[in-house]
Chain A
Amino acid sequence: MSKPLASVNDFVVKFANVNGSGSASANGLFVKSILRSGVPVAARNIFPSNIQGLPTWYEVRICEAGHLGRRGGVDLMVAMNPQTWDRDVAEIEPGGYLFYDSTKPMPPSKFRADINVVGVPLTQISNTAYSDPRQRQLFKNIIYVGALAHILGIEVAVFETLLAEEFAKKPKLIPANIEALHLGVDYAKEHLKPLGLQVKRADRVGDRIFVDGNTAAGLGAVYGGATVCAWYPITPSTSLAEAFTSYCEQLRIDPETGKAKYAIVQAEDEIASIGIVVGAGWNGARAFTCTSGPGISLMQEFIGLSYFAEIPAVIFDVQRGGPSTGMPTRTQQSDILSAAYASHGDTKHVMLLPQDPGECFEFGSLAFDLADRLQTTIFVMLDLDMGMNEWLTAPFTWDDNRNLDRGKVMTAEMLEAGADFGRYLDVDGDGIPFRTYPGTHPDKGAYFTRGTSRDRYARYSEEGAVYVDNMERLVRKFEAAKSLVPAPVLRKAPKATRFGVLYFGSTGPAMHEALDALESRGLHLDALRVRGFPFSAEVFDFIHQHDLVFVVEQNRDAQLRTLLMSEGGIDPARLVKVLHYDGTPITARFISGEIAGLMGAPAQTGEMAK
């Protein structure tokens, strides 16, 4: 028998549930209770592409130190799904705990000798208290939360507050839920001892908020002034459009008329979605779509049109496991190349790479300014991990003095004053021309928009020199984007080092923890988090300042590394791949294990699990 694990505010609880059993809200309640106790939590859903009946897991990392990446390993398994019992039990760390429904006796062979077993007859308690089958199921979930609260030392009063808030609009449900909670608490008080794993009130959450990236990006689109949203349902991006809809209903209804200051269309497919966005962008509205990899594949032709005809568009790509239908409910960063170079012909597109829901909001609003300023498609690259999981993140902020940057738009007054309007004329040397909105002036400023080659005044032309002139201007425009995308974020090692590491997106939290772990072993690296494409000079300077640069990505083919090589002419030998792409979020253990090995340090046990 291993020694029972003992830890305060630093352990991992994993809930194994059946999809559609109502466990999500109970598990959410559990997580919020810990946050309200002032202890940081990182929680992740691991779910199937299914609505009811298949296994689903919810992994909760409780970490007073504030590490928000996935840790890996399980200290307490709440095994509520008989289908996955064996693998769930096998996953528990030696000395860890198994919490299960003991209503039906289990043969001893179903347990492990090196773990601690906590049985609660949940079904029996629930069936005794309730007769309605739906209530029996739902309250069984609340009962286990109550029992867990007691054995983990979470204050019961916290739950009472949370339930009162949650059901503020359906107050009848408050006492019923509190009663169910107490059924669990009371059973645990009577029959169980506190675990070695304990939650102790702390003050480490601060004013941070707990929100998923899709919600944050949808809200960012509201603040960014988006008025047209066209989308097609696809996991894991659907909830972004739903969040935009819900926030618009709250925040964008004209108080006098009750009318909507937005238009949302659920289109027939991704092609129509981006078509609607391009049409709206052409006509001067801020428009976006949200999708995932398969949608990006379908949108290629329109993305090229947006690039070549220079029409603002915003695409939120919530990346999932590819290729093809791939792993629709698992996370990856594998659309980097298909977004960066989307469409046929010579094209390049601006990408914003948020790290967490806070940046999903920030970049979600910024994308619309950039789309208008650069008159092209702006990709905001989320992934399933940050998009669909609630993360602890700094509160959203907004500067009330900030105005929407509508870019270079020639008005009727400017045309009237005799401005020389050439739709594709580079007047400022930054490659960005002026445009007019349709309907601006009775006899000036109209032009014909097309995906075919044209001269500076939008006149059709197949002349080589005219075509090249335009393509060169598009390169200048892309150069101008370098100073407009968010700058990379540098974390210097405490000691000078010849090693560097580049990373981006949802790898952030795990990377920061890995850097701490490596540092504690005397392995020093400077780290640069890339936040936008095209890459600014700082990114290449960073590479040149180090002998060896690890590039950490969540895809198989090292797509960001490829982009660095092709855009910056970097010698491949200087860029070392660190790749994690099995569909689970990358962990600090994985990163530090890989990098330590590559830096020549001896491997530590338990580090190399991929």
Chain B
Amino acid sequence: MTYIAKPRFHHPSLIENKLGFTRRDYEGKVSTLCAGCGHDSISAAIVQACFELDIEPHRLAKLSGIGCSSKTPDYFLGASHGFNTVHGRMPSVLTGANLANRDLIYLGVSGDGDSASIGLGQFAHSIRRGVSMAYIVENNGVYGLTKGQFSATADKNSKSKKGVVNHDSAIDMVSLALQLGATFVGRSFSGDKAQLVPLIKAAIRHKGAAFIDCISPCIAFNNHAGSTKSFDWVREHNEAVNHLDFMVGRAPITAQYAPGETVSVEQHDGTVLTLRKVAADYDPTDRAKAMGFLMERQAAGEVVTGLLYIDPEAEDLHDALDTVATPLNQLGGGDLTPGSAALAKINAALR
């Protein structure tokens, strides 16, 4: 955790978004992570995504568990309320927060230890409930804060920095999320900002459970030969299925793609996702095929990235519970307390 605030002044030519905020207004405190940590790149991508989406910083709540990744919410969006909860339990706290106020944006930041080991159950259940959130796992395959133990996402037969070979099968969170019914599933790499920023933007604007597995090499404990979560390994094996342009509203697509190279997906709220295809036949709206494709490419040793699945018609937990439009935390006594007359009737029925 840091206590060092960044200086507020900035270059006068820094561009502003529609709300008059500069990118600096979306930053947080100075990171205390190791120099070169992939997580800092993800924080920067979150800052960029929120800036580009013209989000009012205070209308977003950022929640995390425990671990290196879970410290990062202190390093972005300093004007947002944040909650560093307990290990592996961010999903339940986020679920409760979301139930209390459906009008805020919820960003859950977690790691592979936090979400694939101790918190696997809560990860699974928050996804299957369709809690509206952007859930980012900063996946480095290792426990950094406790100095280099394997996490549950470490690939079988990969090597730790000390030379130990991992004999356990890896948990693939993307496959899990797909199986559990996530309505938005992506994977990216902290070293590929061009891919990551639009993916985060789309996840934030997605209604329903949006999950991003972001491979984020641990510079201190998992960036060596024999690791499958190192910068070199991921760069060599990264297979992007598509590149995403995220548009708010029906703005015309300005990128110059040849016909047939792109596919557009329009969501409920009018946002349009334009995907430049890399894998020619990849259809990100077909869950079953996405799962098959992933299994196949994984067996071939590739790290598949991009927007892997989206259900543009997704519903969320509030739809399922059919809650009122007013956030529950804004309902007053008049809305909530039935009063003495109703109580008299209840009493009468109990005699």
Residue ranges of A at the interface with B (Cβ–Cβ < 8 Å): 35, 207-211, 219, 222-228, 230, 247, 251-252, 254, 257-265, 267-269, 271-285, 287, 301-302, 305, 395-400, 402-404, 436-443, 446-452, 459-461
Q: Are B125 and A279 in contact, with the CB atoms below 8 A?
A: no
B1 contacts across to A, CB distance below 8 A = 450, 452, 460
Q: Are B340 and A399 in contact, with the CB atoms below 8 A?
A: yes
Return A455 CB to nearest CB of chain B, in Å.
Answer: 9
A183 CA / B79 CA spacing, docked (Å): 75
B208 contacts across to A, CB distance below 8 A = none
B2 within 8 A of A: yes
Q: Are A276 and B331 in contact, with the CB atoms below 8 A?
A: no
**What number of residue pairs across chains A and B have CB atoms under 8 A from each other?**
238
Closest A residue to B58 by CB, please name it. A442
Q: Are B121 and A278 in contact, with the CB atoms below 8 A?
A: no
Q: Are A439 and B85 in contact, with the CB atoms below 8 A?
A: no
Q: Are A440 and B58 in contact, with the CB atoms below 8 A?
A: yes
A66 CA / B201 CA spacing, docked (Å): 67
Interface string of B330-343 (1 = CB under 8 A from A): 01110111111011
Residue ranges of B at the interface with A (Cβ–Cβ < 8 Å): 1-3, 56-59, 61, 63, 73-74, 78-86, 89, 91-101, 103-104, 121-122, 124-125, 129, 317-318, 321-325, 328-329, 331-333, 335-340, 342-343, 346-347, 350-351
B74 contacts across to A, CB distance below 8 A = 448, 460
Known A209-B350, A268-B121, A279-B96; judge A460-B89 contact (CB<8 A): no
9 A-B pairs with least C-beta separation: A279-B96, A275-B92, A285-B100, A438-B81, A284-B329, A279-B93, A283-B100, A276-B96, A280-B96
Return B202 CB to nearest CB of chain A, in Å.
Answer: 22
Known A252-B336, A398-B340, A459-B3; judge A260-B99 contact (CB<8 A): no
Return A436 CB to nearest CB of chain B, in Å.
Answer: 8
Q: Are A259 and B93 in contact, with the CB atoms below 8 A?
A: no
**Sample of 14 further A-B pairs with CB below 8 A, known A450-B1, A460-B2:** A230-B95, A262-B328, A268-B125, A279-B83, A279-B92, A280-B97, A285-B328, A396-B343, A400-B340, A447-B81, A448-B81, A450-B84, A460-B1, A461-B3
Q: Are A449 and B83 in contact, with the CB atoms below 8 A?
A: yes
* Contact residue among B81, B94, B124 (Cβ-Cβ distance under 8 Å from A449): B81
A489 CA / B326 CA spacing, docked (Å): 42
A397 CA / B323 CA spacing, docked (Å): 28
Known A228-B96, A446-B80; judge A285-B350 contact (CB<8 A): no
Q: Are A404 and B332 in contact, with the CB atoms below 8 A?
A: yes
Return B25 CB to nearest CB of chain A, in Å.
Answer: 9
Q: Are A263 and B81 in contact, with the CB atoms below 8 A?
A: no
A438 contacts across to B, CB distance below 8 A = 58, 61, 80-81, 97, 101, 104
Chain B CB within 10 Å — which of A254, A274, A439 has the most?
A439
Q: Are B337 and A279 in contact, with the CB atoms below 8 A?
A: no
A415 CA / B339 CA spacing, docked (Å): 33
Q: Are A283 and B97 in contact, with the CB atoms below 8 A?
A: yes
Q: Are A404 and B350 in contact, with the CB atoms below 8 A?
A: no
Closest A residue to B59 by CB, please name it. A439
Known A280-B99, A283-B101, A448-B84; judge A404-B337 contact (CB<8 A): yes
A400 CA / B335 CA spacing, docked (Å): 13
B78 contacts across to A, CB distance below 8 A = 446
Chain B CB within 10 Å — which of A274, A275, A277, A283 has the most?
A283
B351 contacts across to A, CB distance below 8 A = 35, 207-210
A265 CA / B273 CA spacing, docked (Å): 32
B122 contacts across to A, CB distance below 8 A = 268, 271-272, 275
Chain B CB within 10 Å — which of A265, A274, A302 has the most?
A265
B339 contacts across to A, CB distance below 8 A = 398, 400
A284 CA / B331 CA spacing, docked (Å): 10
A459 contacts across to B, CB distance below 8 A = 3
Q: Are A398 and B325 in contact, with the CB atoms below 8 A?
A: no
Can you spell out 26 A-B residue pairs with CB atoms less than 8 angstroms apart?
Answer: A210-B351, A225-B336, A225-B337, A226-B336, A227-B331, A257-B324, A259-B322, A260-B321, A260-B323, A261-B324, A261-B336, A272-B121, A273-B92, A275-B86, A275-B89, A280-B97, A282-B97, A396-B346, A400-B339, A404-B337, A438-B81, A439-B81, A443-B79, A449-B81, A449-B84, A450-B84
* Contact residue among B58, B98, B103, B331 (Cβ-Cβ distance under 8 Å from A261): B331
Known A267-B92, A279-B94, A442-B56; judge A259-B323 contact (CB<8 A): yes
